[in-house]
Amino acid sequence: MTAWTLTEWEWAQLPLSPAEVLVAQAHLGSALSVEPSAEGFRLRAQGVAGMVALPGGTLHVLPKVPALNLLALLDYTAREVAWGEDAVGSGDSEDLLALLGALYVRRVERLARGGWVQGYREEEEERPALRGRWLVGRDISRPPTHRHLLSCRFDEFTRDVAPNRVLLAALRVLERSSTFGPRVAAQARSLTSTLADVQPLAEVRAAAKVLASDRRFAAYGPAVGLARLILTSAGAQATPGFHPLSSFIIRLAPLFEAAVTRAVAKVASARGLTCHAQRSSSLDMEGLLTTIPDLVIEQGDARLVIDAKYKLPAEGLPPADDFQQLVTYLACLDTPRGVLVLPAPGAVPEETTLRLRTFGRTSEVRVVRAPLGGRASTVGSALESTAERLVSWLPRLPSECRPLAP
């Protein structure tokens, strides 16, 4: 099997067949740009990381930022996790999936050592003796030959509950797929044996409800978060099929937007500001057309619009379309200031301020690049530091809330 490699946002010449290119496009969609060439095809991936199983091998897409930092970003987006004790491997490792698998089995091992938590699950069963609630209506409709059994509904105290089911389902993916490496597969196989009485079901929503309502499962949060990623990104071939490897793709644009939203909302709340995420505004007088900015920070009549874009332009500024979209938001909300937040692969934030003339008015737009490089343990604090800079730009005086003079 051949392995081909793409680095995010960089063009690469690859000797793929037309059939292999079609499979890659089916998995990656608009995230993959393809151009034919004399030697095969030129490809560029943007906003994704992971791997795609092709008929003749595997296409690996490497993230522009360190792989370990992406996992830290995933954790920060889901919830606050202390990364000092969970860091796996070195910060410059490029093998995203090996790191993901190793981190997941380490977290599950920690739970297994502490003992699996049991919970109550509702069961229905026909029994010779009554247990729990008797389902009278069901038994009345049964023939006399079967009335020696009672239909019962009761709560069973068991390990076979949604959080454990989700963890086991993700372990089965790691065990059966060579995507994450033989060492991770062996560790996953060993851990599945400790959950022999649990069904491997991907009940992610049910698991989230249990974690939110039963504090005995509080320690499960980080592991369940990674399990959800593994289950939703593993693709159709997570179990053995025609191809020996499974496809596994992480979509980075919604991940980055969610992380920025979390950081800004946290900082705004600490300052007593109102933060609206994905709130629609009318674009026309009849309310038939709407716009949905990522974030709007408010204090009284002052507003600041923030739009997060996972783009890594090689140099210069983002495309003009991104600025046009943002100033449309500003016009709808009648505020002069907006921010475009982009990722920066380094450890130092970058910032540029522009004055734009559109719709007969002048708007001030700040382009802020949030640093995703540096140490994985500092990704969350770097995002919150960037959020502090954004929130501080909120107009404070009534004169600042009016459109800027052209």
Q: Check pLDDT > 50 for residue 116.
A: yes
What is the rounded distance in angstroms from the CA atom of residue 313 to the CA atom of residue 385?
22
Tens-place pLDDT, residues 330-379: 888 888 889 999 998 887 878 888 888 876 778 889 999 998 888 888 88
How many angstroms separate the Cα of 390 from the Cα of each of 41, 290, 314, 365, 401?
A: 41, 25, 23, 11, 16
The DSSP string of 378-400 is GHHHHHHHHHHHHHTTS--SHHH
Q: What is the mean pLDDT of residues 272-296?
A: 83
- Higher-pLDDT residue of 387, 133: 387
Do 109 and 188 form a contact (C-beta atoms < 8 A)? no
**What average pLDDT is seen over the chain?**
82
Q: Check pLDDT > 70 for residue 94.
A: no
Q: Ranked by mean pLDDT, which of 116-120, 357-361, 372-376, 384-388 comes out on top?
A: 384-388
The predicted structure's pLDDT at residue 79 = 66
- Considering only the C-alpha atoms of the chain, give the largest distance between any 2 of them, rounded to a whole number of Å: 89
The predicted structure's pLDDT at residue 332 = 84
Q: Check pLDDT > 80 for residue 32.
A: yes
Pull the structure tokens for residue 240.
């053995």
The predicted structure's pLDDT at residue 38 = 80
Pull the structure tokens for residue 130.
């009554």
CA nearest neighbour of 157 among 125, 191, 185, 123: 123
Q: Check pLDDT > 60 for residue 46.
A: yes
The predicted structure's pLDDT at residue 245 = 45
Q: Check pLDDT > 60 for residue 98.
A: yes
The predicted structure's pLDDT at residue 246 = 61
Domains of the chain, residue spans: 1-62, 119-158, 253-401
In CATH terms, the fold of domain 253-401 is Trna Endonuclease; Chain: A, domain 1 (3.40.1350)
What is the rounded distance in angstroms from the CA atom of residue 104 to the CA atom of residue 227?
7
Helix (H, G, I), strand (E, B) or coil at 157: strand
Give the Cα-Cα-Cα angle 394, 338, 256 (nearest 5 degrees).
100
The predicted structure's pLDDT at residue 305 = 93
The predicted structure's pLDDT at residue 92 = 46
Band of the pLDDT at 12, cuts 50, 70, 90?
A: very high
Q: Check pLDDT > 70 for residue 69.
A: yes
Do 237 and 53 form a contact (C-beta atoms < 8 A)? yes
Tens-place pLDDT, residues 73-84: 888 887 655 554
Q: Check pLDDT > 80 for residue 162.
A: yes
The percentage of the chain sitting over the pLDDT mark of 70, rounded to a whole number, equals: 88
Q: What is the mean pLDDT of residues 95-102?
A: 83
Do 350 and 369 form a contact (C-beta atoms < 8 A)? yes
How many angstroms separate the Cα of 214 from the Cα of each of 114, 206, 218, 306?
A: 17, 12, 7, 35
Q: Check pLDDT > 60 for residue 249.
A: yes
Q: Check pLDDT > 70 for residue 242.
A: no
Pull the structure tokens for residue 57.
């091998």
327-340 exposure pattern, b = at least 16 Cβ within 10 A, e = fewer? bbbbbbbebbbbbb
